[in-house]
């Protein structure tokens, strides 16, 4: 169980670094939040509760990796999106599924 918790912790931090690349303010805020959540639950001993918390962490990591994008304000009403391949491929899959449901 300990390995699962540590793997989730490491995955969240790797994903944080990838998703918020070059944004020091958000990188630091996300680091603090991840660390805070893991410290808050450090003394949980119930196996089912640990599994539930690990699942929340895994879901959060997946959401960050597949759904969150960076945008940089360029001018009035214009923003440049920093899209990663995972986001693009996930959205392409979603569009195919949506089109199949409609037809």
* 12 and 53 both lie in a single domain: yes
* 30 and 77 both lie in a single domain: no
* 58 and 83 both lie in a single domain: no
* 25 and 74 both lie in a single domain: no
Give, for 74, the enclosing helix (H) or strand (E): strand 70-75
* 80 and 44 both lie in a single domain: no
Other CB atoms within 10 A of residue 52 CB: 12
* 44 and 58 both lie in a single domain: yes
Q: Give me the domain span that covers residue 74.
A: 70-103
Per-residue pLDDT reduced to its tens digit, 30-81: 999 999 999 999 999 999 999 999 999 999 999 999 888 888 888 888 887 7
Q: How many separate domains does the chain show? A: 2
The pLDDT of residue 10 is above 60: yes
pLDDT band at residue 92, thresholds of 50, 70 and 90? low
pTM score, whole prediction: 0.77
* 50 and 17 both lie in a single domain: yes
């Amino acid at each position: 169980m300990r390995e699962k918790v540590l793997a989730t912790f490491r995955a969240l931090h790797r994903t944080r670094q990838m998703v918020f690349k070059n944004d020091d303010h958000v990188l630091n805020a996300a680091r603090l939040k991840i660390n805070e959540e893991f410290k808050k639950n450090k003394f949980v001993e119930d196996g089912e509760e640990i599994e539930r918390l690990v699942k929340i962490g895994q879901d959060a990591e997946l959401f960050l990796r597949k759904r969150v994008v960076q945008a940089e304000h360029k001018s009035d009403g214009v923003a440049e999106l920093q899209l990663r391949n995972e986001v693009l491929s996930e959205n392409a899959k979603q569009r195919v599924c949506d089109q199949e449901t409609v037809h």
